Structure 1
Amino acid sequence: MTHYTIPANTRIGHVHLKVSDLDQSIHFYCHLLGFEIIQRMGSQAAFISAGGYHHHIGLNTWQSKGQPPAPSHHPGLFHTAILYPTRKDLATIFRRLLDEGYPFTGYADHGVSEALYLNDPDGNGVELYWDKPKEQWPVNSQGEIAMYTRPLNTQSLLQELDD
């Protein structure tokens, strides 16, 4: 088989999640995180987005209505990562979730990005993050990106809102 490299401008267009309660998931993704409903299919499915795209996230109960979350140590989706345009945008959603008392599972500085971690109502992992400018990304002596996981300075993040 010949070597193939995916085109550089390829993106992941959307994620489609099986959920147990559509209204509960819509509350989390739309009312807390701010996505907009693009299309709702009764009590079975909804397609939501940021900025009017056809959908970034699909939610459905077709196979999962009323079911418990998948076991955390089984194969499956680890998390959905939602990329915010700026550090201030990440600080804004952080403040919003803090004010709502929504629980976080972690916070991290990865060198290339800063991230907030939480679970949706079905236990699906969600990463909210922003990418640092590429010129700030850490590299090793071979010029490869050298990501890491260090504690995120959440107070510094919240100070973005003071400007």
Structure 2
Amino acid sequence: MATARYLVRDVAEAVGFYTDVLGFEVRQRFGPAMAIVVRGDQDLWLAGPESSAGKALDSGAQPSPGGWNRIVLVVDDLAGMVARMAADGIVFRGAIVSGPGGSQALCEDPSGNAIELFQPGKGG
């Protein structure tokens, strides 16, 4: 099982995105501060500003969502999924790109966190 934590601006909005758009299920909610959603063997902790992960560090730095680190979700029909999500207004950081291992597209959750949708190549 893999676990990742994303900082999000709004936990309820993030839960809606991950469940309605990407097929996750809610495992646990911690009020408005945090929720855990799961998809297969992937646990994703959605931590809002009120969670411990959202608190300022000793240095004064404030954690924030976004960036280029990401979770990878393996999909069977990348082109179809991208088309459906784009039609629903989901933000993509670019077009589908292909390499020796397969094809990928990067979308964003409502807080700007990157999600890689990956379809393995025929040999992968």
Coarse TM-score class (shorter-chain normalised): 0.7 to 0.9
Q: Is the 8 A contact 1:28 1:120 kept in 2?
A: yes
Give structure 2 stretches of 5+ with no counterpart: 56-61
Say if 2:46 is the partner of 1:59: yes
Q: 1:103 aligns with which of 72, 91, 96?
A: 91
SS in 2 for 1:20: coil
- Counterpart of 1:81 in structure 2 is 72
Q: Is the 8 A contact 1:69 1:123 kept in 2?
A: no
CA distance in 1, matches of 2:29, 2:66: 28
Partner AA of 2:90 in structure 1:
Y
Say if 2:27 is the partner of 1:38: yes
- Aligned pair count reads 114
Q: Is the 8 A contact 1:20 1:64 kept in 2?
A: no
CA distance in 2, matches of 1:125, 1:92: 19
Which of structures 1 and 2 has the bigger CA Rg? 1
Residue deviations 1:45-94 (CA, integer Å, cap 9, x gap): 1111124x5x52111121438x884574xxxx52221122x2x2x34422
Say if 2:70 is the partner of 1:50: no
Say if 2:28 is the partner of 1:13: no
With normalisation by structure 2, the TM-score equals: 0.75
Return the structure number with greater strand share.
Answer: 2
With normalisation by structure 1, the TM-score equals: 0.59
Identical pairs, percent: 25
SS in 1 for 2:17: helix
Residue deviations 1:8-55 (CA, integer Å, cap 9, x gap): xxxx6121112221012112211122211111121121111124x5x5
SS in 1 for 2:84: helix
Give structure 1 stretches of 5+ with no counterpart: 1-11, 138-163
CA distance in 2, matches of 1:123, 1:98: 15
Partner AA of 1:64 in structure 2:
G
